Structure 1
Amino acid sequence: MKKTFVIFYALIIYAVAELIWWGYMLVSLQPRRTGMIMGEGAMFVAVFVIGAYNLHKSFNRQQKLSEQKKNFLLSVTHELKSPLASIKILLQTIQKRNLTREQILDFIDKSLNDVERLDDMVENMLLASKIENRSYSFPKASFNLSVLVDSIVNRLQITKCDCNQQIIDAEIEPKIEITGDKFALTSVVTNLIENAVKYSNPCSAVAVKLFSKDDKVYLEVADQGIGIADHEKARIFDRFYRVGSEETRNTKGTGLGLYIVKEVLDKHHASIKVKDNRPAGSIFEVVFGLT
């Protein structure tokens, strides 16, 4: 890519130099037409500069997308290897050691948690691919959103922390019915809560609220984590976008979660915005219209 930029800028410099030279020659040969030559030359330069600027932006976008895809491949590789290695160790331990029934059941539970983690990641990648290819139709039906959010909170709940504190504090108004794609909205809720947990300190509170007000349904997920800088809030919903480099980043992820969230909510005519939590962290607020 650097070589492409060098060639691109070299061609621009050459073209501008040639333009100036030919302009000088024309003015020397026809001094009476200096005004016309200068006007046409200025118009040509303006068109040339605008085109060069747009090409430069296109190159930059391509470079950023290439870097994001590289980070995506690195993160997917890590995300796959980590739970697979954990499952392998747990199963090998069960196979080679004489464990009690309680220990075996505990290892099986941990293995199933890793399998669910893998399943969530695969579902995310498949859904993102279908959304990108516009091959997913978002079939809609009426369902109980309260039950859906409660089940996801229970699945992602972590009750065994060093501080003996539940990591997800949920306030869910019962019997909230909406019309939408249950599968896709499951991915939305899962991604929002998993992100809040991922970017929070161990055992810090993550608040999940679901309630209705003024013919609208609100879903709020608040964490006390690292927060999101103002200049990044507009980009966090871009496909593959993640802060920093995959080689130095501490948090896990593929950069697809919030992209899926935004795309799915757009298809449901719902909105999402990010606010700063106080004193630290972020609040993601989703609003569904009931009418």
Structure 2
Amino acid sequence: MKRPFVIFYATIIYALAQLVWWGYMLISLQPNHLGMILGEASMFVLVFALGAWSLHKSVNKERRLHEQKRNFLLSVTHELKSPLASIKLYLQTIGKRDLEKKQMMNFIDKCLLDIERLDDLVENMLLASKIENQSYTFPKENFNLSALVDSVVNRLQINKCDFNQQLINAEIEPKIEITGDKFALSSVVTNLVENAIKYSKPCEEVAVKLFRKDGNVHLQVADRGIGIADTEKGRIFDRFYRVGSEDTRNTKGTGLGLYIVKQVLDKHEASIHVRDNKPAGSVFEVVF
């Protein structure tokens, strides 16, 4: 993307050089019209500068979008290959070895977890595409949000930590019902919890709270991970946006999760805010 910028700036320099040259020639030929020539030149420079700034902004936006799409393709490739390689290895082991039933069931459970991971990835990509194309209608129904959050937490829970420490500590007020798109809101909860796990150290606690307050329903997902810089908080809900480059980033992800979260919540007239956790990490709070 450097070549277009070189051509762009070279064209600007050439145009300004021509303007100065022709201005000099006109003033030499008609010195009595100096004021008119300078006025016209000033107006031309102003219009030219505004056009150049607008064009530069558009080219820069395209460059960033190109880089984000490149990062997205790299991350999706990694996200797909990792669980597929894991599933293939487990199935090959089951097929080639005479395993005990307990060990075989353990391998099958791990395969199912990887399949759920792939399913979440595909659902995110499809939902993001439908939202972008405005082809998703967000069908509304009355449902139990408490049961939905509890189901997501149980699916993502990991208990294989030292001293039987639970990774997700959930405080869910029972029988909270809302009207909304159950599928899309399930994606919201999943993305928020997965993000908290993703950017936390292994076996670091993630806190999920669902409760009523002042007539509103609050969902909080807090982690003790790496946190989010203040300069990044305004952009984390942009499509494809992720901090850094896929070539150097260790955390998995596609840059679609928080974009989907924001778009779905906007359709439900709900708000989401992010703040720093103490002593470290981030807190995402959704208010219905």
* CA shift digits 1:205-261 (9 cap, x unpaired): 100011111111110000000000010001111111111111111000011000000
Gaps of 5+ in 2: none
Matched, 1:125 2:149: no
Q: Give the alignment of 1:116-265 within 5 angstroms.
A: 116-265=116-265
Aligned counterpart, 2:72:
72
- The secondary structure found in structure 2 opposite 1:220 is strand
Q: What is the Cα deviation at residue 12 of structure 1? A: 0.3
Whether the 8 Å contact between 1:163 and 1:203 is mirrored in structure 2 is no
Matched, 1:28 2:24: no
* C-alpha separation in 1, matches of 2:164 and 2:244: 32
- The secondary structure found in structure 1 opposite 2:153 is helix
- The secondary structure found in structure 1 opposite 2:81 is helix
* C-alpha separation in 2, matches of 1:163 and 1:121: 31
- The secondary structure found in structure 1 opposite 2:70 is helix
Whether the 8 Å contact between 1:222 and 1:284 is mirrored in structure 2 is yes
**2:22 counterpart letter in structure 1:** W
**2:119 counterpart letter in structure 1:** D
RMSD, aligned CA: 0.8
Q: What is the Cα deviation at residue 65 of structure 1? A: 0.6
**1:92 counterpart letter in structure 2:** Q
Aligned counterpart, 1:273:
273
Output the TM-score relative to the length of structure 1: 0.97
- The secondary structure found in structure 2 opposite 1:85 is helix
Q: What is the Cα deviation at residue 57 of structure 1? A: 1.1
**1:54 counterpart letter in structure 2:** S
- The secondary structure found in structure 2 opposite 1:208 is strand
* C-alpha separation in 2, matches of 1:94 and 1:204: 32
Residues 28 and 163 from structure 1, CA distance in 2 versus in 1: closer, same or farther, beyond 3 angstroms? farther
Q: What is the Cα deviation at residue 162 of structure 1? A: 3.3
Q: Give the alignment of 1:4-23 within 5 angstroms.
A: 4-23=4-23
Structure 1 runs, 4 residues or longer, greater than 2 Å off:
none
Whether the 8 Å contact between 1:271 and 1:286 is mirrored in structure 2 is yes
Residues 74 and 163 from structure 1, CA distance in 2 versus in 1: closer, same or farther, beyond 3 angstroms? farther
Q: Give the alignment of 1:87-98 within 5 angstroms.
A: 87-98=87-98
Q: Which moved more, 1:161-170 or 1:188-197?
A: 161-170
Residues 145 and 28 from structure 1, CA distance in 2 versus in 1: closer, same or farther, beyond 3 angstroms? same
Q: What is the Cα deviation at residue 164 of structure 1? A: 2.5
* CA shift digits 1:75-108 (9 cap, x unpaired): 1111111001111111111111111111111111
**1:177 counterpart letter in structure 2:** E
* C-alpha separation in 1, matches of 2:114 and 2:162: 21
**2:69 counterpart letter in structure 1:** K
Aligned counterpart, 1:107:
107
Q: What is the Cα deviation at residue 163 of structure 1? A: 4.6
* C-alpha separation in 2, matches of 1:163 and 1:239: 39
* C-alpha separation in 1, matches of 2:217 and 2:36: 64
Aligned counterpart, 2:84:
84
Q: What is the Cα deviation at residue 185 of structure 1? A: 0.4
**2:193 counterpart letter in structure 1:** I
Q: What is the Cα deviation at residue 3 of structure 1? A: 1.1
